[in-house]
Structure 1
Amino acid sequence: MSGSNDPDILNIEQAAALLGVSVKTFNKVLHSQDLPARKIGREWKFSRSHLIDWVGAGRSSEFYKDSQADNADMVSPQPPTSSNGTSQAESPAGRRSSEPSEERRTSGWRLSLD
């Protein structure tokens, strides 16, 4: 045992409490990161010292690089346009699809103010 009543092996609730996050958040991190853990039967088990080392080994710059790469993947390309300049994303009735587009429908309009 490491401290007074602190166990060395933690279940998911204890591990989440150690890191100061909800079990739901901890579970998301467990599935998206490379946490030091072992699944025994149906339960995840965590070493207190390895979790502390894992947090200490992380770098915020790695998080921001990953976030920027994720955001780059989320940007959708512009829909191709046909020879007459209309978007191919338009339906046969001339209505636009529900997909967002960076080009506004009024981008070519000129208004004359009297």
Structure 2
Amino acid sequence: MTTAEPWASVEDVAKRLGVAKDSVYRWIEARKLPAHRIGRLWKFKLSEVDEWVRAGGAQEDD
């Protein structure tokens, strides 16, 4: 039996990626970062975040 992947917070994602929480919120707003709204909170699956980064989602658009 596999254990379900736990949900991660904005703080967890910011720490994992080495960025400010503001960057995480900006990436959510731009509808790029895979996030799930649970009540008033944003939650993440770290496997989805890792895949997003590998796919180039964290690259600057400038």
| TM-score in same-fold range (> 0.5) | yes
Alpha carbons of structure 1 residues 42 and 51: separation in structure 2 relative to 1, 3 Å: same
1:50 matches 2:48: yes
Alignment partner of 1:24 out of 15, 22, 30:
22
Higher-Rg member (1/2): 1
Instruction: Point out the structure with the larger helix share.
Output: 2
Give unmatched runs, 5+ long, in structure 1. 2-6, 68-114
1:59 offset after TM fit, Å?
6.9
Q: Report Cα offsets for 1:54-73 as digits up to 9, x if no partner.
A: 0001178x74xx42xxxxxx
The percent of aligned pairs where both chains have the same amino acid is 34
Structure 1 runs of 4+ aligned residues shifted over 6 Å read none
Whether the aligned pair in 1 keeps the contact of 2:33 and 2:57 (CA below 8 Å) is no
Whether the aligned pair in 2 keeps the contact of 1:8 and 1:49 (CA below 8 Å) is no
Whether the aligned pair in 2 keeps the contact of 1:36 and 1:46 (CA below 8 Å) is yes
Please name the residue that 1:11 is paired with: 9
Aligned length, in residue pairs: 59
Question: When the two structures are superposed, what TM-score results if normalisation uses the length of structure 2?
Answer: 0.76
